[in-house]
A and B are shown apart, each in its own frame.
Chain A
Amino acid sequence: MSSTHAAGAQLHPPVANQSSRVDSRVLGMLLFIASEVMLFGSFFTAFFFVRVVNGPKVWPPQGFELPVYVAGINTIVLVSSSFTVHWALQSIKRGNRAGMQAGLVLTFLLGLTFLFTQILEYARIGFAPHDNAFTTTFFCLTGLHGAHVFVGLCLLAMATTRALRGHFSPEHHQGVEVPSIYWHFVDVMWIVVYATVYVL
């Protein structure tokens, strides 16, 4: 009877059990990134399979040319955006709100530049996804990455909007940190894609 009264007196749900030392939001992002790594892994498997089957001596296949230099400049743009997002987070940790806002806006613009350059590259590349297995895997890998850049831009847009509205403080900046981790992951994946697809 007394236990029934005790249960009735509880006006809020019990505190969720936290079995991990990692914050649940960061843990969610980490699990998401782990699943993304597996997704990219399957696409890379298809790419390397096509490459091995075609014969490794001539790559890309004859008649196809990849815009290595444009993609190289795009790589520099994306790597720069990781530095700016890192700067943004370090700024808010030190209480520099203007630095955080500038860093986030710069990151967003650099990401947008990368995405538009990739769209232009698709328009002028001279082959289509349905041409052969090489072109299919090329568009799948770069397109998958482009989709992730788009998602990252959405996250960055939310963080930037909140930053411009005066959110975040040196103690509370999870809303910047989690998109930053994702953005670094997107950058890492592009380094792997650029090195394996365009250069090697």
Chain B
Amino acid sequence: MRNPLRSEAEAFRFLLITIAFFGAIVAARLLVGTLVALLVAIGGIAAIGWLLQGKSKSRSRGRPAIRVVSDDQPREPREGGDKPGAEDPSGAPHGRSSRRRSGP
């Protein structure tokens, strides 16, 4: 979730959202009743949360993915040596370390 008061423009937008949100609650309370106002409040909070989640997800989707490759990733089979254990004299399967562990 992004900080809504990061800049003046975002703080101003946050103010407008607050006015709309409380305006809806007050209108529901005065025109219909307390229970409806409560439902509007809960619905509004859920909607704002959903919107913020969606925004942060779309923002993270736009970023370039960082690929982290560990040593344990399975390697591409080489030409002429794609049999299991062909590269490794110990016969360990691909993606596993062939190093022997010493005792505890």
A residues bordering B, Cβ < 8 Å? Answer: 22, 26, 30, 33, 79, 82, 86, 89, 177, 180-181, 184-185, 187-188, 191-192, 195, 199-200
Contacts and interface: CB of A to CB of B under 8 A. Distances in A.
Interface string B1-33: 001011111011011001100100110011000
Contacts of B18: 188, 191-192
Q: Is the interface of B mostly helix, strand, loop or mixed?
A: helix
B25 A181 contact: no
Nearest to B37: A200
B31 to A, nearest CB: 12
Contacts of B15: 79, 82, 184, 187-188, 191
A82 B17 CA distance: 13
Contacts of A86: 8-9, 12
13 contacts: A26-B7, A79-B15, A79-B19, A86-B9, A89-B8, A177-B7, A180-B11, A180-B12, A184-B8, A184-B14, A192-B18, A195-B26, A200-B37
A191 B7 CA distance: 20
Contacts of A188: 14-15, 18
A79 B14 CA distance: 13
Contacts of B8: 86, 89, 177, 180-181, 184
Contacts of B37: 200
Residue among A22, A177, A188 having the largest count of chain B Cβ atoms under 10 Å: A188
A46 B14 CA distance: 25
A82 B5 contact: no
Contacts of A89: 8
Contact of A200 (B7, B12, B29): B29
A188 B7 CA distance: 15
Given A22-B6, A79-B19, A188-B18, A200 B25 contact: yes
Contacts of B25: 195, 200
A192 B15 CA distance: 11
B22 A184 contact: no
Contacts of B9: 86
Residue among B7, B11, B19, B26 having the largest count of chain A Cβ atoms under 10 Å: B11
Contacts of A22: 6
Contacts of A79: 15, 19
